[in-house]
Amino acid sequence: MSTLSQALWVLLLGSLLGLELIGKVPPTLHTPLMSGANAISGITVLASLTLIAQADGNGALLLLGGLSLGFALFNVIGGFLVTDRMLAMFGGRKSGSGG
Amino acid sequence: MDFASCAIDLVAVLLLALGLKGLAKVRTARSANGLAALAMGLAVAGLLLQLQPGPAAWLWIAIGAAAGGIAGLITAQRVPMTAMPETVALFNGCGGMASLLVALGVALFQHDQTDLVGRISIDISVFVGAITFSGSIVAMAKLQGWLDTPDWTQSAMRHGLNISLAIASLAAGLALPTDPAGWPLWGLLLASTLLGIGVTLPIGGADMPVVISLLNSYSGVAAAAAGFVVGSQLLIVAGAMVGAAGLILTQVMCTAMNRSLLNVLFGGALGAKAGGSVGGGGDEAGYTRIVSCSPEECAMALESAERVVFVPGYGLAVAQAQHALRELSKLLEANGAEVSYAIHPVAGRMPGHMNVLLAEADVPYEQLIEMDTINPEFPRTDVVIVLGANDVVNPDAKTDPTSPLYGMPVLEVDQARQVFVVKRSLGAGYAGIANALFELPQTAMVFGDAKAVLQQLCTELRSQGVGARARVAA
């Protein structure tokens, strides 16, 4: 039972950390922050990899895992890139502004 | 788990937390995003080292990674900035789907290796994952205009339907631990998918960003549940972190939009029920004192104006008129006018969206003024030009307690000496409410597409010699 209680502690402390991390957010950043947090939630890619690696040659499981990995990575890669695209425009105005 | 993997995981969690924190500050946001991406890569590499997948597994990892990675790459590069809310919704739905598929795989083929806790985790992962997926897809379709808000979803019946679906999910969820691969799994999947649709469909487009933010939080919860299913502490902590942070962000957004979360979720579409209160829910018959004017007249007013404020809204972005707007403001500046842009916290389709769109058109950041700063400035403003914004400049929000918008902070453009509203027609705003601003004596409507009108204004000003001096000087 120790692994369960350990996992529950991790859950609790992770949630508390998340509550504290974001306090006051300027409205400018709401959209990029949402998009960035969304990319991080694609961390479930780890679960997809675990499923594939432990499939023991079960074809259906490999297929499900592969599909799941595709969805998760779509979320991760797309999410981080699109966030960067948005934030790059904020950065660009400092160096190349004036126009 | 050996020491090296443990160390990698700890570093990854630390970097993810720092990344999330940095994303909330303007100066650090971009590097923080990179840091979070690095952390994710580190976590994946660490896990692969630890799992040592066989050849068949590597093949499927390569297939999945290539498909998802390339699709993500293309989507991220191609998608227009105006479509950002629906893009986030799409990505988010796919994250939920990924957690759902993992739980499904374990439930169907590895349930003999799971204990009660594992099976409860499967319950949660399927339930939250399915809601995240179907809800996000509905949100995306509504923002794209593929789905309307059906009338029946505004009746009280929807609560009954959703409660039945929630009870069905609960029943299936309770039965699942004893029969993990049978009907309870499919029942749970079906009921929670429908529940995601049933909860999201009645919500109006104006509130959709809040819903997407909430669903974003759910996908974190789904990831944490998947972490319990496969036994990954890193996944649990990261999922919980994003889930909690998403909840805070949702709250922050609700505050910015002056809406309560409960009202957004269960109140139905804003304006849909309150249509009769102001001028008949936005059909043209509701207006009686409309003055319209031509771009020429508007240009004349602009030519003599010393202080001009633009109020950009989503309509501006739809018309792709940011660049034409920038052109016009350069002309006005050359003419000696002081130009600024009034940014309502929810301008665009979600908070911060308009800042992104204007940054794309190279509008200097210093000219974007937030609502609280610019409101006291309106009385000494000569000309305000409202471009595709509507509800955020509605004076009823301050003065008319019967208006559904009452209490929402708005840009007080009615205080300015002259207001021009550029609009395609007298149709209602996003919230479906008539706008008292249009009938004020100092307001004139300039009907037309925002981009075309702005270009006409530029031409007109140039023909009056504005900007010529600047060109001669250069």
- Which candidate, B358, B409, B420, B348, places its Cα nearest to that of B384? B420
Nearest CA to CA, how far is A5 from chain B (Å)?
Answer: 11
Contacts of B328 (CB under 8 A, 6+ apart): B454, B457, B458, B461
- Phi then psi dihedrals of residue B364, to 5 deg: -60, 135
Interface residue of B40, B82, B233, B325 to substitute, partner A, most A CBs within 10 Å: B40
- Claim to verify: residue B106 and residue B224 sit in the same structural domain: yes
Q: Check A77 against B72: CB less than 8 A apart.
A: yes
Distance CA B421, CA B269 (A): 26
Interface residue of A25, A58, A71, A90 to substitute, partner B, most B CBs within 10 Å: A71
Distance CA B57, CA A63 (A): 10
- Claim to verify: residue B393 and residue B319 sit in the same structural domain: yes
Q: Which two tokens stand for residue B64?
A: 């999945």
- Claim to verify: residue B386 and residue B417 sit in the same structural domain: yes
- Choosing from B9, B123, B207, B391, the catalytic residue is B391
Q: What is the pLDDT of residue B149?
A: 77
Q: Which two tokens stand for residue B185?
A: 């799994």
Nearest CA to CA, how far is A1 from chain B (Å)?
Answer: 10
CA torsion B407-B411-B412-B414 (nearest 10°) is -110
Distance CA B46, CA A39 (A): 19
For chain B, the first-to-last Cα distance in angstroms comes to 69
B190 occurs within a structural domain = yes
Q: Check B359 against A90: CB less than 8 A apart.
A: yes
Domain that holds residue B369: 276-473
Contacts of B315 (CB under 8 A, 6+ apart): B387, B388, B389, B390, B423, B424, B450
B271 occurs within a structural domain = no
Q: What is the pLDDT of residue B314?
A: 77
pLDDT of B116-152, one tens digit each? 888 999 999 999 999 999 999 999 998 888 887 777 7
- Claim to verify: residue B250 and residue B288 sit in the same structural domain: no
The alpha carbon of A8 is separated from its chain's Cα centroid by a whole number of angstroms, namely 21
Nearest to A93 among B23, B43, B364 (CB): B364
B51 occurs within a structural domain = yes
**Run of H or E including B49:** helix B29-51
Contacts of B333 (CB under 8 A, 6+ apart): B339
- Claim to verify: residue B334 and residue B245 sit in the same structural domain: no
Nearest CA to CA, how far is A90 from chain B (Å)?
Answer: 6
3 state DSSP class of B85 = helix
Q: Check A76 against B40: CB less than 8 A apart.
A: yes
Contacts of A81 in chain B (CB under 8 A): 72-73, 76-77
Give the end of a domain, one of B238, B266, B294.
B266
Q: Assess whether pLDDT exceeds 90 at residue B428.
A: no
Distance CA A15, CA B463 (A): 62
What's the total number of domains in chain B?
3
Q: What single DSSP character describes residue B371?
A: H
Residue ranges of alpha helices (H) inside chain A are 2-21, 30-40, 45-53, 59-96
- Claim to verify: residue B335 and residue B418 sit in the same structural domain: yes
Interface residue of B58, B77, B237 to substitute, partner A, most A CBs within 10 Å: B237
List the domain boundaries for chain A: 28-93
Contacts of B64 in chain A (CB under 8 A): 48, 52, 65-70, 73
Q: Is B391 a catalytic residue?
A: yes
Q: What is the pLDDT of residue B197?
A: 93
Beta bridge partners of B292: B445
Nearest to A22 among B33, B248, B370 (CB): B248
Contacts of B94 in chain A (CB under 8 A): 71-72, 74-75
pLDDT of B38-54, one tens digit each? 999 999 999 999 988 88
3 state DSSP class of B464 = coil
Distance CA B246, CA B435 (A): 33
- Claim to verify: residue B343 and residue B197 sit in the same structural domain: no
- Claim to verify: residue B173 and residue B194 sit in the same structural domain: yes
Residue at token pair 């893009």: B87
Q: Assess whether pLDDT exceeds 60 at residue B278.
A: no
The ipTM of this complex is 0.89
Residue at token pair 């002309």: B331
pLDDT of B59-82, one tens digit each? 999 999 999 999 999 999 999 888
Give the end of a domain, one of B266, B297, B322.
B266
- Phi then psi dihedrals of residue B384, to 5 deg: -110, 130
Distance CA A53, CA A69 (A): 12
Tens of each residue's pLDDT in chain A, 99 residues: 467 888 899 999 999 998 888 877 777 788 889 999 999 999 999 999 999 999 888 889 999 999 999 999 999 999 999 999 988 877 644 443 333
Residue ranges of alpha helices (H) inside B304-387 are 314-318, 322-334, 353-360, 371-374
Contacts of B72 (CB under 8 A, 6+ apart): A73, A74, A75, A76, A77, A78, A79, A81, B91
Distance CA A19, CA B197 (A): 28
Nearest to B92 among A11, A38, A89 (CB): A38
Interface residue of B242, B325, B349 to substitute, partner A, most A CBs within 10 Å: B242
* Residue B323: exposure state from Cβ atoms within 10 A (0-12, 13-18, ≥19): middle
Nearest to B98 among A25, A38, A71 (CB): A71
3 state DSSP class of B117 = helix
Q: Check A46 against B235: CB less than 8 A apart.
A: yes
pLDDT of B168-198, one tens digit each? 999 999 999 888 888 999 999 999 999 999 9
Q: What is the pLDDT of residue B296?
A: 87
pLDDT of B258-271, one tens digit each? 778 888 887 766 54
- Which candidate, B70, B235, B245, places its Cα nearest to that of A36? B245
pLDDT of B350-392, one tens digit each? 777 788 888 878 888 788 888 888 999 899 999 999 988 888 8
Q: Check A44 against B226: CB less than 8 A apart.
A: yes
Q: Which two tokens stand for residue B453?
A: 């009108």
pLDDT of B316-339, one tens digit each? 877 788 888 988 998 998 888 899
Nearest CA to CA, how far is A28 from chain B (Å)?
Answer: 4
Mean pLDDT of chain B: 85
Nearest CA to CA, how far is A25 from chain B (Å)?
Answer: 5
CATH of the domain at B378: 3.40.50.1220
- Claim to verify: residue B191 and residue B239 sit in the same structural domain: yes
- Phi then psi dihedrals of residue B347, to 5 deg: -60, 145
Q: Check B40 against A97: CB less than 8 A apart.
A: no
Q: In this structure, which amino acid lies at residue B151? A: D
| CA distances (Å), origin A89, targets A31, A38, A45, B276, B409 | 13, 19, 29, 42, 27
Contact between A73 and A45 under an 8 Å Cβ cutoff? The reply is yes
CA-atom Rg of chain B in angstroms = 26
- Claim to verify: residue B185 and residue B283 sit in the same structural domain: no
Q: What is the pLDDT of residue B474?
A: 44
Q: Check B252 against A67: CB less than 8 A apart.
A: no
Lowest-confidence segment of B101-110, B380-389, B465-474 by average pLDDT: B465-474
Distance CA B373, CA B384 (A): 16
B141 occurs within a structural domain = yes
Q: In this structure, which amino acid lies at residue B98? A: A
Nearest CA to CA, how far is B34 from chain A (Å)?
Answer: 8
Q: Which two tokens stand for residue B56?
A: 């068949």
Q: Which two tokens stand for residue B268?
A: 């139905």
- Claim to verify: residue B411 and residue B287 sit in the same structural domain: yes
Distance CA B326, CA A93 (A): 14
Distance CA B293, CA B301 (A): 11
pLDDT of B442-461, one tens digit each? 898 888 888 889 999 999 88
Specify the pairing of strand B418-423 against strand B338-343. Answer: unpaired
Contact between B448 and B295 under an 8 Å Cβ cutoff? The reply is yes
Lowest-confidence segment of B3-17, B88-102, B194-208, B234-248 by average pLDDT: B194-208
Candidate ranges A38-52, B19-33, B281-295; pick with highest mean pLDDT: A38-52
- Phi then psi dihedrals of residue B304, to 5 deg: -95, 0
Contacts of A31 in chain B (CB under 8 A): 84-85, 88, 348, 350-353, 355-356
How would you label B354-384 residue by residue, b for 16+ Cβ within 10 Å and e otherwise?
bbbbbbbbbbbeebbbebeebbebbeebbbb
Instruction: Indicate the pLDDT class of residue B283, thresholds 50, 70 and 90.
Output: very low
Beta bridge partners of B341: B310, B368
Longest dimension (CA), chain B: 84
Distance CA B348, CA B354 (A): 5
- Claim to verify: residue B87 and residue B65 sit in the same structural domain: no
